[in-house]
Protein backbone atom coordinates (compact mmCIF):
# COMPACT_ATOMS: atom_id res chain seq x y z
CA UNK A 1 0.00 0.00 0.00
CA UNK A 2 2.87 2.37 0.77
CA UNK A 3 4.29 1.80 -2.71
CA UNK A 4 0.93 2.05 -4.46
CA UNK A 5 0.37 5.49 -2.96
CA UNK A 6 3.90 6.80 -3.49
CA UNK A 7 5.22 6.50 0.06
CA UNK A 8 7.91 3.91 -0.75
CA UNK A 9 10.24 3.17 -3.63
CA UNK A 10 9.51 -0.58 -3.80
CA UNK A 11 6.50 -2.80 -3.29
CA UNK A 12 8.22 -4.86 -0.61
CA UNK A 13 11.42 -4.97 1.37
CA UNK A 14 13.42 -8.18 1.30
CA UNK A 15 16.55 -7.10 3.17
CA UNK A 16 17.93 -4.09 5.01
CA UNK A 17 20.14 -3.25 2.02
CA UNK A 18 17.58 -3.77 -0.77
CA UNK A 19 17.34 -0.06 -1.60
CA UNK A 20 13.79 0.51 -0.39
CA UNK A 21 13.29 4.13 0.56
CA UNK A 22 10.33 5.74 2.29
CA UNK A 23 9.06 9.06 0.93
CA UNK A 24 7.10 11.46 3.15
CA UNK A 25 6.69 8.51 5.50
CA UNK A 26 8.07 7.11 8.72
CA UNK A 27 7.05 3.87 10.40
CA UNK A 28 7.06 3.28 14.14
CA UNK A 29 5.24 1.17 16.70
CA UNK A 30 3.48 1.96 19.96
CA UNK A 31 5.20 -1.09 21.46
CA UNK A 32 8.87 -1.66 20.71
CA UNK A 33 9.04 -5.33 21.73
CA UNK A 34 7.28 -8.35 20.26
CA UNK A 35 4.79 -9.42 22.93
CA UNK A 36 3.42 -12.97 23.16
CA UNK A 37 0.92 -13.66 20.35
CA UNK A 38 1.72 -10.14 19.08
CA UNK A 39 -0.91 -8.78 21.50
CA UNK A 40 0.55 -6.07 23.73
CA UNK A 41 -0.82 -5.60 27.23
CA UNK A 42 -1.16 -2.32 29.08
CA UNK A 43 2.16 -2.65 30.90
CA UNK A 44 4.05 -3.04 27.60
CA UNK A 45 2.23 -0.10 26.02
CA UNK A 46 2.92 2.06 29.09
CA UNK A 47 6.59 1.08 29.19
CA UNK A 48 7.12 2.09 25.56
CA UNK A 49 4.97 5.23 25.67
CA UNK A 50 7.89 7.51 26.56
CA UNK A 51 9.72 6.43 23.41
CA UNK A 52 6.63 7.12 21.32
CA UNK A 53 6.19 10.54 22.94
CA UNK A 54 9.77 11.43 21.99
CA UNK A 55 9.22 10.34 18.39
CA UNK A 56 6.01 12.38 18.14
CA UNK A 57 7.71 15.48 19.55
CA UNK A 58 10.32 15.29 16.79
CA UNK A 59 7.91 15.09 13.85
CA UNK A 60 8.11 17.85 11.27
CA UNK A 61 5.37 20.46 11.58
CA UNK A 62 2.11 19.75 9.75
CA UNK A 63 2.75 15.99 9.82
CA UNK A 64 0.04 13.39 9.57
CA UNK A 65 0.18 10.31 11.77
CA UNK A 66 -1.70 7.21 10.65
CA UNK A 67 -2.72 5.03 13.60
CA UNK A 68 -3.29 1.43 12.59
CA UNK A 69 -5.79 0.28 15.18
CA UNK A 70 -7.16 1.35 18.50
CA UNK A 71 -4.02 0.41 20.43
CA UNK A 72 -1.90 2.76 18.32
CA UNK A 73 -4.54 5.50 18.52
CA UNK A 74 -4.77 5.30 22.31
CA UNK A 75 -0.97 5.17 22.68
CA UNK A 76 -0.61 8.37 20.64
CA UNK A 77 -3.24 10.19 22.68
CA UNK A 78 -1.56 9.00 25.89
CA UNK A 79 1.90 10.01 24.65
CA UNK A 80 0.63 13.55 24.11
CA UNK A 81 -0.99 13.70 27.56
CA UNK A 82 -4.44 14.21 26.05
CA UNK A 83 -7.78 12.87 27.26
CA UNK A 84 -8.90 9.67 25.52
CA UNK A 85 -12.56 10.70 25.81
CA UNK A 86 -11.92 13.76 23.63
CA UNK A 87 -10.39 11.76 20.77
CA UNK A 88 -12.42 8.64 20.02
CA UNK A 89 -11.02 6.03 17.67
CA UNK A 90 -13.05 5.51 14.51
CA UNK A 91 -12.00 4.22 11.11
CA UNK A 92 -11.16 7.16 8.79
CA UNK A 93 -11.53 9.71 11.61
CA UNK A 94 -9.18 12.69 11.57
CA UNK A 95 -8.15 14.38 14.80
CA UNK A 96 -6.36 17.73 15.01
CA UNK A 97 -3.79 17.29 17.78
CA UNK A 98 -2.13 20.69 17.40
CA UNK A 99 1.35 19.85 16.12
CA UNK A 100 -0.02 17.22 13.73
CA UNK A 101 -3.17 15.47 12.61
CA UNK A 102 -4.03 11.90 13.46
CA UNK A 103 -5.79 9.66 10.93
CA UNK A 104 -7.32 6.43 12.27
CA UNK A 105 -7.64 3.12 10.46
CA UNK A 106 -8.58 -0.34 11.54
CA UNK A 107 -5.41 -2.39 11.90
CA UNK A 108 -4.54 -4.42 8.80
CA UNK A 109 -4.36 -7.65 10.82
CA UNK A 110 -5.35 -10.99 9.38
CA UNK A 111 -8.37 -11.03 11.73
CA UNK A 112 -9.66 -7.67 10.47
CA UNK A 113 -9.10 -8.53 6.81
CA UNK A 114 -10.51 -12.08 7.07
CA UNK A 115 -13.66 -10.83 8.80
CA UNK A 116 -13.85 -7.96 6.26
CA UNK A 117 -13.94 -5.41 9.05
CA UNK A 118 -11.19 -3.87 6.92
CA UNK A 119 -11.38 -4.45 3.19
CA UNK A 120 -8.71 -3.66 0.62
CA UNK A 121 -10.92 -0.85 -0.67
CA UNK A 122 -11.24 0.63 2.82
CA UNK A 123 -7.48 0.47 3.38
CA UNK A 124 -6.79 2.05 0.00
CA UNK A 125 -9.26 4.75 0.94
CA UNK A 126 -7.22 5.53 4.06
CA UNK A 127 -4.07 6.03 2.00
CA UNK A 128 -5.93 8.18 -0.52
CA UNK A 129 -7.25 10.21 2.42
CA UNK A 130 -3.69 10.53 3.78
CA UNK A 131 -2.47 11.82 0.40
CA UNK A 132 -5.27 14.36 0.35
CA UNK A 133 -4.59 15.51 3.93
CA UNK A 134 -0.90 15.92 3.07
CA UNK A 135 -1.73 17.68 -0.23
CA UNK A 136 0.41 15.18 -2.19
Superfamily covering domain 36-134 = Uracil-DNA glycosylase-like domain (3.40.470.10)
Could you give the C-alpha distances from 13 to 19, 24, 123, in angstroms and in order? 8, 17, 20
What residue spans define the domains of the chain? Answer: 36-134
Query: Is the pLDDT confidence value at 61 over 90?
Result: no
At 12, the pLDDT band (50, 70, 90 cuts) reads: very high
CB atoms within 10 A of CB 127: 18
pTM summary value: 0.91
Encode pLDDT of 74-127 as tens digits.
Answer: 999 999 999 999 999 999 999 999 989 999 999 999 999 999 999 999 999 999
Angle between helices 70-79 and 42-57 (to 10 degrees): 60
SS (H, E, C) 65-85: EEEECHHHHHHHHHHCCCCHH
Amino acid sequence: MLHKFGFSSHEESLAADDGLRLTNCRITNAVKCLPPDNKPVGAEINTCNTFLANELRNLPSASLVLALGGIAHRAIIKALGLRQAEFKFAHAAVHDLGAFRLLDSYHCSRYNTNTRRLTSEMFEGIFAQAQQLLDL
